[in-house]
Amino acid sequence: MKRRTRFSRWLPHPFFSVISGIAWLVLNHSLAVVDILTAAILALVIPKMVATFIPRTPSVNWIAAIQLFYTVLIDIIVSNFVVAKLVLGPKKNLQPKWFRIPLSTQHEQVNALLAMIITTTPGTVSAGIDQKRGDILVHALNATDPEAEIKQIKMRYEQQLIKIFKVKSGEKL
């Protein structure tokens, strides 16, 4: 069994501690001393309370994560305009399709985040991850070429997620 350091006992998930403290300050719209102290206490207590539910913190390539964040943000903005044009235009221009995206890995975090990205991008909805089958079922509002959509999703999102979590192809969590 791995011996825990004093630091890891006080802060089992440092990133989660920082997010908890910042969230408290943002929600209170205050930098008063009492709010900063409360944020610090919450940043220590909350991660310790949930430590048993989070078995390990994954190693993350933060540069790739930031790049993916901006890629998804730009895609969401562009997709909003495309979907608005499609929905407000003639219905004959819509070509909704169901298709399956084969997964390159069995890594649960990569696959869950890929499904979430697909769901948040306007015009597509992830219907579910089938780990046994190794794919994600997707509904697209307008997919004239599902194969091109699959290639684009795999290239823009899945490969970046694999790079972020430093996953080898076929690796499980």
Q: What is the pLDDT of residue 3?
A: 58
Mean pLDDT of 127-147: 91
User: Using CA atoms, how far apart are residues 80 and 166, in angstroms rounded to an integer?
Assistant: 31
Other C-beta atoms lying within 10 Å of the C-beta of residue 95: 13
Q: Which residue has the tokens 């219907």?
A: 127
83, 159: one domain: yes
Q: What is the pLDDT of residue 128?
A: 87
49, 108: one domain: no
- For 102-116, how does the pLDDT look when each residue is reduced to its tens digit (9 = 90+)? 999 988 889 999 999
85: in domain: yes
Q: What is the pLDDT of residue 65?
A: 93
What is the strand order of the sheet 124-130 is part of? 97-102, 135-140, 124-130
User: Using CA atoms, how far apart are residues 173 and 158, in angstroms rounded to an integer?
Assistant: 15
* Prediction pTM value: 0.73
Q: What is the pLDDT of residue 97?
A: 93
- For 44-90, how does the pLDDT look when each residue is reduced to its tens digit (9 = 90+)? 999 889 888 877 667 889 899 999 999 999 999 999 999 999 999 99
Q: What is the pLDDT of residue 16?
A: 85
132, 156: one domain: yes
Q: Which domain holds residue 98?
A: 62-164
173: in domain: no
172: in domain: no
User: Using CA atoms, how far apart are residues 160 and 166, in angstroms rounded to an integer?
Assistant: 10
Rg of the chain over all Cα atoms, to the nearest angstrom: 20
39, 108: one domain: no
Give the contacts of 42 (CB within 8 A, at least 6 positions apart). 20, 21, 24
Mean pLDDT of 95-101: 94
Tokens standing for residue 140: 């697209």
With a cut of 60, say whether residue 170 has pLDDT above it: no
Across the chain, mean pLDDT equals: 89
13, 74: one domain: no
Q: What is the pLDDT of residue 1?
A: 46
With a cut of 90, say whether residue 91 has pLDDT above it: no
Total structural domains within the chain? 2
